[in-house]
Structures are given as C-alpha cells and as structure tokens.
C-alpha cells in the first residue's frame, strides 16, 4: 500500500529505467513523512506501537465479494496532513512503524498473487553516481535490493494477515465511530474523527464463549493493546499545544 502523503512520485521499480540508481545515504531523516497523520500497521507491531502511538481503525472499503474491511493504523497527528512525531529530521518515538521504515521503497498488490516494488522518485537521496546500487551490471537485483524486497513482502503478508483481526472486530460488532475533541491552552478547539475504536461497553457484554474464542484466536490481546494505546491521544494534544505556541 502506497500512502499518498508519503510517496510524492510513486513509480514501479524497473531494472531498465533504474539500472544505475543508487541510494546515496541511508534513510535517517523523516521530513518526507511530515504530512502523514497515520499509517496502516500489522498485528505483529501492536506490542511496540501501543507504547508510543494511539492505535485506531479506519474503513478500507469492500472487497470483490462486497465484504467490508477495516484496518488498524498508528495515529501520528490529530488533523489531516499532521505528523506530530516528526521533529526536524528526527522521529519522536522509539519505534517507527514498518511501512514508514521501508520508505523510500513500497509495495503494491496488483493481483491476488502479484505484487510490485515501488519507489518514491521524488526522494532526494537517489543518486546515479554513488551509494548503494539497486541492480548489478547485468540488471539483476543486488543483495541489498533483494533484502528490501524480502522485507516489503513480509510487511505485506503481515498486513494481509491482520485483515483477520479487523474482520473479527466487525463480526463481533465491537467497533464504534470515534470523535476526539480537546481544547488547547490557547483556547483553540480541535477535533479528530473519521476513525473507529473498540466499544468497551460492547466488549464487556460479550458472551463468555465469545470472549474465550477471541482470546484463543489472539484477537483479545490485540484489543487490549489498542485500549492501552488510547492514552497517547492526550500526548498528541499536548504536543500540538506545544507546537502551536
């Protein structure tokens, strides 16, 4: 999945067009993500993500069979195109979600069993003369590019697996629309909506057998991580207040 506010000029990586493309320096600054207010995460990331970010849910539409799906995201800001974790070139958290760390590379699924590697052509650290090569003289992927491809495919696989978690929440009718409102010290009113969170009341009212089912499938532990993560909404408010001064 390619986030439009992260990849300014996404193009398919091509062994002919990009034969001599090199990475001049490793990705160690995060200005490119300054307008990304949230990114999809995989279930395997929840234990790390919940310690730094609010975990919310967004509607990702319906599949070919008409089934609705939702996905978890790590929220970076309270308004569109706002990333409160980017501070100059630095990222203000111990853990950076996998899809952000993969930048300037990305992956997109074009068919059920086919994916393509993408790059952001607008990334300023590409070079034609120096750095780590993506392809060898024969146009074959370098070891570094193969490692990137393996990592991207792993991320994509884990995100696809995470769809089970969202489906389980929908089937149990545990999600509710969320609207977060706060007042900054300056008096400015802010609100965040378009997200969903777990309805704690409905969770408590689930039959015991359903709770056991969610526990054994691993869904319950992910719900708990989501609940823990919600405390970070106030942190985002505090950071926004500091930034507005």
Q: Which tens digit of pLDDT belongs to each residue from 163-212?
A: 999 999 999 999 999 888 877 777 778 777 889 999 999 999 999 999 99
Predicted pLDDT of residue 194: 85
Take residue 120 and report the two structure tokens written for it.
């952001």
Within a 10 A sphere around the Cβ of 207, how many other Cβ atoms? 8
Q: What is the mean pLDDT of residues 150-158?
A: 92
Radius of gyration, CA atoms only, the chain:
20
Predicted pLDDT of residue 235: 93
Length in residues, the chain: 245
190: nearest Cα among 77, 54, 83, 72: 77
Which pLDDT band, with edges at 50, 70 and 90, does 28 fall under? low
pLDDT exceeding 70 applies to what percent of the chain? 97
């Amino acid at each position: 999945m390619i986030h439009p506010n992260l990849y300014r000029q996404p193009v398919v990586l091509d062994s002919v067009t990009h034969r001599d493309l090199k990475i001049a320096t490793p990705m160690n600054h995060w200005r490119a993500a300054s307008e990304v207010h949230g990114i999809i995460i995989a279930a395997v990331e929840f234990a790390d993500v919940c310690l730094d970010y609010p975990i919310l849910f967004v509607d990702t539409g319906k599949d070919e069979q008409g089934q609705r799906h939702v996905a978890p995201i790590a929220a970076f800001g309270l308004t569109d195109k706002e990333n409160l974790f980017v501070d100059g070139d630095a990222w203000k958290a111990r853990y950076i979600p996998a899809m952000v760390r993969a930048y300037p590379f990305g992956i997109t699924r074009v068919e059920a069993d086919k994916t393509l590697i993408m790059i952001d052509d607008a990334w300023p650290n590409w070079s034609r003369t120096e750095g780590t090569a993506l392809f060898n003289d024969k146009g074959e992927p370098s070891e570094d590019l193969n490692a990137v491809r393996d990592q991207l495919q792993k991320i994509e696989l884990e995100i696809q697996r995470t769809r089970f978690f969202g489906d389980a929440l929908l089937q149990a009718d545990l999600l509710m629309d969320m609207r977060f409102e706060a007042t900054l010290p300056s008096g400015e009113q802010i609100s965040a909506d378009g997200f969903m969170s777990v309805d704690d009341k409905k969770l408590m009212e689930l039959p015991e057998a359903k709770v056991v089912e969610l526990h054994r499938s691993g869904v319950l532990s992910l719900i708990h991580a989501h609940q823990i993560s919600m405390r970070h909404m106030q942190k985002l408010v505090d950071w926004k207040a500091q930034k507005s001064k």
